[in-house]
């Protein structure tokens, strides 16, 4: 047990008090990643249990924070009660004592007083108070020159993780106490957290880190909620409960706005709604250039329920279904039946129109790291996407079975992500053949001629596109990854965001050669990275020969309006001119002028 002296010592080393001053309005500049303006109260979230950030709450929320701490202490103690019982039953008394000790830490009055004191005096969030008190207690134990004490420090850290985990998992409870719409503020948000926002009252988010094409940003665009990333210190400047305005068009977050700021953004928000209404008028029109060339416009989705938005916005079908979001929304490995039901729903919603399903793109920033004992040192270059699936054939085949079974209900295509060698494509196709044979033997219906394509997302695949074209039915160019691997810039790192450029001549050359290789082998090629929905690149991509674009559904109307004003002869001329430029700035300036010439409104409210 812990003696009073140790606890007293712990209290002594607890941090000094913070001065609480009135806090004026503040404007934070970041990266505009999802357009629109939102008004709400701040909910601050920590991204990991390992790194609990210093966060404070507004004075009127201090009492609620104390209640939250109390609930977490109780629920963690209950979990430990069960653990004590189950450990005793399975392993005997001795091991069960470890968890009894953990429980006693959480019931220690002095520690609880310390946590409560920090919340009351400094207005810190409960997880910070809990983490601080237990971390300091662990440090004190480590400093005692007695091995018995030192070894207890690890137990205290274990308890800290458990309690902080309970507090962080209880964001729903915190949401409930905030009235009206909520803006999530975090250092970083994982795609899993972003997927969770989907079902909550969240109207916007602002993060310290993150870039334009991080998966979290993509998800914000898909949900149509304004977002600003790369805010650097939003989590320090914002307190839970603060009133916020998020301007996802200019990348600004207004903290504690005054009346003037509120009035200004109310007018801006009205303007955006008007513009959106005007744009939607084009949704029902045909996607055809002035000189009669058809451009197919498709939508990217994460969940089947987004498919109606594609049609409402004038898209013709699904160009990219990011199936891994089933993992992210449930936080666990789905069963074959769960996969199957989601895919049948996608087939049903698509009603015979194009539907391209991508096999699991887990790894890197999505899902796997959070479930690994030892996270990868370099996850974006690690066991992600098709590599992960080939390494875990059981997981891969479960998904492939569900996809083939869903094909019995309507047309669909299958594509593999992040393929970097022809051998990977062959292995993936072999698994698909195995699964087809199994279904055949079991007498389960499926479509026998499902088209199988690949995403071109790494330079090795782009350079070898002609070889791949002989073995794939179609290509889909994933520029979000292709850019990061070509220019060696992490797509989610705000510190190098200015180097992450779709207009880099090296990226454009790769895109050009992939389109050419596909044409040479008479296979279809589309582009489904965020670049497809950026009007700045529409003329250029059409000029390079691209005829299928797949994008976030909300971007469809502005791209369609631009397409209807374009002339392919002119696009080809522009593409030739761009081919002679050596710097991305030159490309951007030139494309901006040419785009405005066709549609002066095309770039209004766009993210560059
Ligand atoms: C891409 O990399 O361009 C792509 C569409 O895939 P994701 O954004 O899901 O990585
Ligand atoms: Mg990708």
Q: Which ligand lies nearest to the CA atom of residue 552 in the structure?
A: 1
Q: Is 60 exceeded by the pLDDT of residue 14?
A: no
pLDDT of residue 593: 96
More confident residue, 173 or 493: 493
Q: Which ligand lies nearest to the CA atom of residue 191 in the structure?
A: 1
CB 260, CB 49: distance < 8 Å: no
> Could you identify the atom of ligand 1 that is nearest to the CA of residue 481?
2
More confident residue, 365 or 512: 512
- Measured in Å, residue 354 CA sits from the centre of ligand 2 at 20
Residue 112 CB-density burial (10 A; 0-12 exposed, 13-18 middle, 19+ buried): middle
3-state secondary structure of 357: strand
Q: What is the mean pLDDT of residues 286-300?
A: 98
Which of 237-251, 266-280, 453-467 has maximum average pLDDT? 453-467
Q: Which residue's entry shows tokens 């207890």?
A: 152
Residue 520 CB-density burial (10 A; 0-12 exposed, 13-18 middle, 19+ buried): exposed
Q: What is the mean pLDDT of residues 533-549?
A: 97
Best of 302, 327, 478 for a ligand 1 pocket test (most atoms within 8 Å of beta carbon) = 478
State pLDDT tens for residues 389-414. Answer: 999 999 999 999 999 999 999 999 99
What is the tally of helices (H) and strands (E) in the chain?
25, 16
Nearest C-alpha to atom 3 of ligand 1 is from which residue?
478
Nearest C-alpha to atom 8 of ligand 1 is from which residue?
480
The neighbour count for residue 431, using CB atoms within 10 Å, is: 18
> Could you identify the atom of ligand 1 that is nearest to the CA of residue 215?
8
pLDDT of residue 18: 45
Q: What is the mean pLDDT of residues 418-439?
A: 98
Measure CA 80 to chain center.
33
- In this structure, of 166-175, 314-323, 438-447, the range with the lowest mean pLDDT score is 166-175
Q: What is the mean pLDDT of the chain?
A: 88
Nearest of 207, 171, 163 to residue 33 by alpha carbon = 207
Q: What is the mean pLDDT of residues 168-174?
A: 59
Q: What is the mean pLDDT of residues 369-381?
A: 77
| Ion ligand 2: protein residues whose beta carbon lies under 5 Å | 457, 478, 481
319 Cβ contact list (under 8 Å, min separation 6): 298, 299, 300, 354, 356, 476, 526, 528, 548, 549, 550, 551
- Measured in Å, residue 404 CA sits from the centre of ligand 2 at 23
State pLDDT tens for residues 39-85. Answer: 999 988 765 555 677 888 888 889 989 998 998 899 889 888 888 88
CA distances from 578 to 274, 431, 485, 504 (A): 34, 42, 22, 11
CB 395, CB 333: distance < 8 Å: yes
Residue 250 CB-density burial (10 A; 0-12 exposed, 13-18 middle, 19+ buried): middle
pLDDT of residue 112: 95
Nearest C-alpha to atom 9 of ligand 1 is from which residue?
322
Which residue stretches of 254-413 are H helix? 259-280, 307-312, 325-330, 336-350, 385-391, 393-407
d(CA 547, CA 25): 48
Q: Is 90 exceeded by the pLDDT of residue 501?
A: yes
- Measured in Å, residue 357 CA sits from the centre of ligand 2 at 13
Active site residues: 215, 528
- Measured in Å, residue 418 CA sits from the centre of ligand 1 at 9
Specify the pTM: 0.75
More confident residue, 96 or 205: 205
> Could you identify the atom of ligand 1 that is nearest to the CA of residue 478?
3
State pLDDT tens for residues 241-270. Answer: 899 999 998 999 999 999 999 999 999 999
- Measured in Å, residue 531 CA sits from the centre of ligand 1 at 10
CB 2, CB 186: distance < 8 Å: no
Region for 21 from its dihedrals, namely left if φ exceeds 0, alpha if ψ lies in -120 to 50, beta otherwise: beta
Cα dihedral value 471, 417, 474, 555, nearest 10: -170
Nearest C-alpha to atom 4 of ligand 1 is from which residue?
478
> Could you identify the atom of ligand 1 that is nearest to the CA of residue 531?
3
Sorted by where each starts, the structural domains of the chain and their CATH numbers stand as 9-46+172-272 (3.50.30.10), 59-168 (1.10.274.10), 281-598 (3.20.20.60)
Q: Which ligand lies nearest to the CA atom of residue 366 in the structure?
A: 1
> Could you identify the atom of ligand 1 that is nearest to the CA of residue 479?
3
- Measured in Å, residue 216 CA sits from the centre of ligand 1 at 12
- Identify the residues whose C-beta falls under 6 Å from ligand 1: 218, 320, 322, 361, 457, 478-481, 528-529
State pLDDT tens for residues 108-148. Answer: 999 999 999 999 999 999 989 999 999 999 889 888 887 77
Best of 361, 419, 420, 548 for a ligand 1 pocket test (most atoms within 8 Å of beta carbon) = 361
Tell me the torsion sign for CA atoms 434, 355, 391, 386.
Answer: positive
Q: Is 80 exceeded by the pLDDT of residue 90?
A: no
- Measured in Å, residue 257 CA sits from the centre of ligand 1 at 36
State pLDDT tens for residues 303-355. Answer: 898 999 999 999 999 999 999 988 877 767 899 999 999 999 999 999 999 99
């Amino acid at each position: 047990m812990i003696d009073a002296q140790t606890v007293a010592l712990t209290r002594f080393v607890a941090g000094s008090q913070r001065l609480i001053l009135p806090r004026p309005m503040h404007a934070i500049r970041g990266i505009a990643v999802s357009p629109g303006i939102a008004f709400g109260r701040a909910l601050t979230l920590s991204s990991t249990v390992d790194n609990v950030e210093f966060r404070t709450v507004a004075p009127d929320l201090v009492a609620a924070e104390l209640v939250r701490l109390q609930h977490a202490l109780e629920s963690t103690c209950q979990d430990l009660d069960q653990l004590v019982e189950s450990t005793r039953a399975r392993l005997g008394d001795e091991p069960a004592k470890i968890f009894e000790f953990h429980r006693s830490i959480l019931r220690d009055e002095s520690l609880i007083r310390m946590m409560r004191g920090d919340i009351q005096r400094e207005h810190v969030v409960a997880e910070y108070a809990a983490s601080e008190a237990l971390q300091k207690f662990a440090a004190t134990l480590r400093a005692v020159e007695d091995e018995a004490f030192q070894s207890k420090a690890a137990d205290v850290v274990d308890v800290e993780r458990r309690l902080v985990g309970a507090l962080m998992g209880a964001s729903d409870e915190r949401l409930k106490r905030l009235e009206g719409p909520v803006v999530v503020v975090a250092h970083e948000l994982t795609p899993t957290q972003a997927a969770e926002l989907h079902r909550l009252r969240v109207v916007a988010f602002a993060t310290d880190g993150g870039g334009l094409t991080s998966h979290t940003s993509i998800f914000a665009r898909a949900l149509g909620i304004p977002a600003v990333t790369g805010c650097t210190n939003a989590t320090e400047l914002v307190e839970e409960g603060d009133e916020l305005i998020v301007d996802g068009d200019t990348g600004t977050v207004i903290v504690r706005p005054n009346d003037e700021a509120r009035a200004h953004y109310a007018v801006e928000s009205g303007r955006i709604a008007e513009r959106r209404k005007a744009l939607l008028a084009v949704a029902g029109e045909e996607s055809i250039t002035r000189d009669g060339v058809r451009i197919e416009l498709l939508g990217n989705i994460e969940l089947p329920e987004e498919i109606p938005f594609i049609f409402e916005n004038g898209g013709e079908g699904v160009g990219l279904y990011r199936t891994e979001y089933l993992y992210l929304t449930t936080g666990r490995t789905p069963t074959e039946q769960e996969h199957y039901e989601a895919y049948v729903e996608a087939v049903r919603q698509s009603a015979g129109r194009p539907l391209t399903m991508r096999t699991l793109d887990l790894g890197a920033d999505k899902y796997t790291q959070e479930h690994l004992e030892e996270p990868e040192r370099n996850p974006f270059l690690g066991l992600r996407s098709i590599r992960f699936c080939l390494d875990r054939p059981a997981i891969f085949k479960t998904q492939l079975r569900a996809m083939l079974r869903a094909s019995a209900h309507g047309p669909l295509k299958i594509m593999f992500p992040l393929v970097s060698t022809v051998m990977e494509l062959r292995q993936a196709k072999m698994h698909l053949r195995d699964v087809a044979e199994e279904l055949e033997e079991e007498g389960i219906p499926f479509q026998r001629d499902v088209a199988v394509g690949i995403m071109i997302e790494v330079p090795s695949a782009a350079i070898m596109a002609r070889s791949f074209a002989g073995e794939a039915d179609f290509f889909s160019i994933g520029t979000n990854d292709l850019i990061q691997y070509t220019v060696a810039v992490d797509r989610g790192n705000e510190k190098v965001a200015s180097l992450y450029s779709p207009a880099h001549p090296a990226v454009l050359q790769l895109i050009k050669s992939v389109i050419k290789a596909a044409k040479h082998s008479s296979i279809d090629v589309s582009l489904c990275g965020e670049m497809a929905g950026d009007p700045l690149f529409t003329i250029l991509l059409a000029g390079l020969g691209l005829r299928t674009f797949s994008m976030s559904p909300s971007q469809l109307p502005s791209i369609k309006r631009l397409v209807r004003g374009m002339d392919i002869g002119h696009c080809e001329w522009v593409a030739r001119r761009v081919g002679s430029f050596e710097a991305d700035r030159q490309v951007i300036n030139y494309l901006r002028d040419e785009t405005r010439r066709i549609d002066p409104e095309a770039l209004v409210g766009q993210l560059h």
